[in-house]
Structure 1
Amino acid sequence: MKTIAILHGPNLDRLGKREPQVYGHATLADLEAFIRTEAEQRGFATRFFQSASEGALVDKIHSLTDSGVAGFIVNFGAYSHTSIALRDALSASALPAVEVHISDIKAREEFRHHSMTAGACRVMISGKGFNGYAEALDQIAQWL
């Protein structure tokens, strides 16, 4: 069974508390349970990691790549808009990756309209809530 790594950046651990009008009332644990179920239905195992630290996320991309994961689903939160380091780490992995945003970044503040890290991903999915993660799994399933 191939393993997909799901990486979450800063403030994703605040799901259910942070701006529920934007992100809803479900928690990160709820999201992980949803993803795990969807992944199992597609024949994937999952590994989850969340950090507010850019360096920890870079280190995790490297260690997961070396451990043999088949691909990544990433939501780097605010780092999506600023982090060349995360983009470079994903590019260096040479693994298929999908960037997911729960909210529609194009409908939010202008500084959120561009994702620096999306260029290292094959697809970016934005504004589909938790279902964006299921769509990301479908995308990865097509590539593996």
Structure 2
Amino acid sequence: REQETYGDQTLQAINDRLMELAKAEGVTLEAKHSNSEGELVSWIQEARGQFDAIVINPAAYTHTSVALRDAILSVTVPTVEVHLSNIHQREEFRQHSYLAGVAIGQISGFGAFSYELGVRAAIDHVRRAREKSG
């Protein structure tokens, strides 16, 4: 991947930092990675009833995958879309997200920190929803 666009942190380093954040927040986090659209769809579908939120970087599937969009819509698990780069400052074809309309929010352009912001947003969303429901 282009280091100037996506940064130089490894996925393992990002995941390690997210695990530390989850531990500090008292939540459980499961990190997964796949380049397979079908596998991502399966994981999203399996999240119903197992996870309180999803944080996803759909990468190039952002701009192409109706299947990911439909999976997120069908499971009704709050989903935060994250991107390392600011997709809205990139090529025109990268500025459209099929997921944005079904995600509770989108965070992009902060490099690896986008993941941390996404996890924090998901935790906050779930906690506020629980407070509302009593």
Q: Same fold (TM over 0.5)?
A: yes
Q: TM-score, normalised on structure 2?
A: 0.88
Are 1:52 and 2:40 matched, yes or no? no
Deviations 1:30-76 (A, max 9, x none): 1111111122222211112111111111011112224x111100001
- 2:51 counterpart residue number: 69
Question: What is the aligned-residue identity percentage?
Answer: 37
Q: Which amino acid aligns with 2:57?
A: N
Q: Please list, as runs of the form range in 1=range in 2, the aligned pairs for 1:1-144 lying within 5 A after superposition.
A: 18-66=1-49, 68-144=50-126
CA RMSD of aligned residues (A): 1.2
Aligned to 1:8: none
Question: By how many angstroms is 1:122 displaced?
Answer: 0.5
Q: SS at 1:95's partner residue?
A: coil
Stretch deviating more after TM superposition (129-138 or 71-80): 129-138
Higher strand share: 1
Structure 1 unmatched ranges of 5 or more: 1-17
The list of structure 1 runs, each at least 4 consecutive aligned residues, that deviate by more than 3 angstroms after superposition, is none
Distance 1:142 1:21 in 2: 31
Supply the AA of the counterpart residue of 2:9.
A
Larger radius of gyration: 2
Query: What's the CA shift for 1:104?
Result: 0.7
Unaligned runs of 5+ in 2: 127-134
